[in-house]
Structure 1
Amino acid sequence: MKKISSLVLLLMQVLYLRAQSDSVYLFAYFKNNGQDGLHLAYSHDGFKWSALKKDSSFLQPTVAKDKLMRDPCIIRGADGLFHMVWTVSWNDRGIGYASSKDLINWSEQRFIPVMMHEDSARNCWAPEITYDAKKQQYMIYWATTIKGKYPADPKVENGYNHRMYYVLTKDFKTFSKTKLLYDKGFNVIDASIVPNGKQFIMFLKDETREPVQKNIKIATSKKLNSGYSEASAPITGNYWAEGPTTLKINGTWIVYFDKYRDHKYGAVQSTDLKNWTDISDKISLPSGIRHGTILTISKAAFELLPK
């Protein structure tokens, strides 16, 4: 029995390494104000990233009044399509959506009016998508300030006081009613949720200005769309950080984030989600890269992308 178990373990390790070697990491991001649309970079190790298509746009934004494509989030769906959402404007009550089979040719862009029912909603920022395999549905979530709902000093950062909201969908055509996802009494944006065994991990930005936080924290839940814990202590250092996105490579978590005041990217890593080491000096990303998300694609899909 021990010999059989050892062979099974060896086979699993071989299959895992093969899957790793057949995969490429892809970083979807924007530049400047997001006016020219989607940019993509790739990496084989999670540390050195190179821009694709000479760092030109893969998709020009067409929806909403401002026609921006900020904070793009792409996931590979259970249907085999790449699904993308993004911020269309600094001040709008909906988000952008498009899908693609190959990351090159995209569907018609659509405006999803996730907060149009709230007349006092001021914005919809940094939407992301997470798939719930157990319930076979997607959750789209974002940060919104609803004027007067969570009072804030109008003299501090324009009186924004965000909370996280969400909708559920199975097909990106019909959506559940918008509901509150995360409210722990502080200004929160830029949530990014990933499954981890029997729980979900939310990496989030504490946007509190006074007393200043502006850092990345963690919350966990056994359910994708409810029950998240209080936020952890900061996992980032003495600088302002936002837009977390993650990879787990050989048992090590890497969280990338935008050091937006320093105009560069940073990263921290951990094996236990509790003790974090800054590895900002070990990563290399394209110049001018702004808030985005990482996904893993097959080597075959990567080979089709313009270099």
Structure 2
Amino acid sequence: MKRLFGILLITLLLSACSKEVYMFSSFHEPATDGLRFLYSENGYQWKDLNHVFLKPNVGTQKVMRDPSIVQGSDGTFHLVWTSSWKGDKGFGYASSKDLIHWSEQKMIPVMEHEPTTVNVWAPELFYDDETKQFVIIWASCIPFRFPKALEAEDNNHRMYYTTTKDFNNFSPTKLLIDPNFSVIDAVIVKRKAKDYVLVLKDNTRPNRNIKVAFGESAIGPFTNVSAPFTKNFTEGPSVEKVGKDWLIYYDSYQDKTYGSMKTADFKTFTEVSAQTSVPEGHKHGTIFKVKKRILKAIQQEIQSKK
């Protein structure tokens, strides 16, 4: 009986240690402080860790906007972010094993080959388990490159991408999608093999809303752009899977609120903003899962500094 009880106890302890929680990378305006995190047990109610984990020191303006994080197969967390509103030809990068201690920051110069590039906005990380590489996508504006609608030439964006296995060597930058309108804030979602969704912001006037497109690989081509499923003046989609559904969080920046939509198929969307709660001040980031022990270590680190 004692042996059986011991086995049961070990099983329960291992189960508790392997339990995962949701993390949401974040920043606060004016984006000079640095990386923040929210966390959630259920993906609907979020709590703020109320701590800055990495202060930006690269780029023209040395800000940290739109922090995107993904964990590699070796357990390393990789972070990319917007380092300046304008002037940079790349974005910031750092890595960590525990989300507490970070490597030296560096710039990844993905648009140096395009000297008239205005900006590099909202880099987003995706690990492609089919090709065993990281895909990084971002929005850039190259004036007079594409037909424009009502946008000024320095605000007519398209989405670009590069791939890497080690964050030292990168494939040549390529166009990810030109949907015939200014597009920013895109996120890659994999549903199954050869079934990918690109959640994106139509940044043209008067739209400023969120749509989806579909492709057979993480680098597209993405086609069949949908009608918008959010109201105007929404941006910064972040996507997570909870059970059988996908939740899409977004910044309703005119209302100064955070909204959320639920979908099972990326065709029919139900607003669930009343069921979710996001702390005030949170801005555009990435949702990912971590072992609960990672969160506990972070909380202990924060407590030790008080």
Common fold, TM-score beyond 0.5?
Answer: yes
Secondary structure of 2:75 counterpart: coil
Tell me if 1:48 matches 2:45: yes
Contact 2:35-2:64 at 8 Å conserved across structures: yes
Structure 1 spans left out of the alignment, 5+ residues: 1-17
- Separation in 1, partners of 2:210, 2:160: 18
3-state SS of 1:302 partner: helix
Mapped pair 1:142 → 2:138: yes
Residue 221 of structure 2 is matched in structure 1 by: 227
Deviations 1:245-283 (A, max 9, x none): 111111011100011111110001012221111111221
Shift of 1:162: 0.4
State how 1:1-307 maps to structure 2 within 5 Å: 22-52=19-49, 55-91=50-86, 92-152=88-148, 156=151, 159-198=154-193, 199-209=195-205, 212-236=206-230, 238-306=231-299
Post-superposition offset of 1:158 = 6.7
CA change 1:231–1:300 in 2 (3 A) is same
Alpha-carbon distance in 2 for matches of 1:20, 1:161: 47
Asked whether the equivalents of residues 184 and 230 of structure 1 are also in contact (C-alpha less than 8 Å), the reply is: no
Q: Distance in 1 between matches of 2:114 and 2:277?
A: 41
Whole-angstrom CA distance in 1 between matches of 2:39 and 2:220: 33
Contact 2:142–2:157, Cα closer than 8 Å, also in 1: yes
* C-alpha contact (below 8 Å) 2:96/2:103 kept by paired residues: yes
Deviation by residue 1:2-30 (Cα, 9 ceiling, x = unmatched): xxxxxxxxxxxxxxxx6998110001011
- 1:71-120 per-position Cα deviation (integer Å, ceiling 9, x unaligned): 00001112210000000000121100000000000000010000011111
The question of whether the paired residues in 2 share the 8 Å contact of 1:152 and 1:159 is answered with no
Paired-residue identity, %: 45
2:226 corresponds to which letter in structure 1?
Answer: S
**C-alpha distance in structure 2 between counterparts of 1:136 and 1:249, whole Å:** 24
Whether the aligned pair in 2 keeps the contact of 1:216 and 1:234 (CA below 8 Å) is yes
Q: Give the corresponding residue for 1:4.
A: none
| TM-score using structure 2 length | 0.89
Cα shift at 1:150:
1.7
- Structure 2 counterpart of 1:9: none
Separation in structure 2 between the aligned mates of residue 145 and residue 230 of structure 1, nearest angstrom: 23
Pair 136,19 (structure 1): closer, same or farther in 2 beyond 3 Å? farther
Q: Cα distance 1:158–1:183, how it changes in 2: closer, same or farther (>3 A)?
A: closer
Amino acid at match of 1:56: H
TM-score scaled by length of structure 1: 0.89
Superposition misfits of 4+ residues, deviation over 6 angstroms: 18-21
Instruction: Quote the Cα distance in structure 2 between the aligned partners of 1:101 and 1:226.
Output: 30
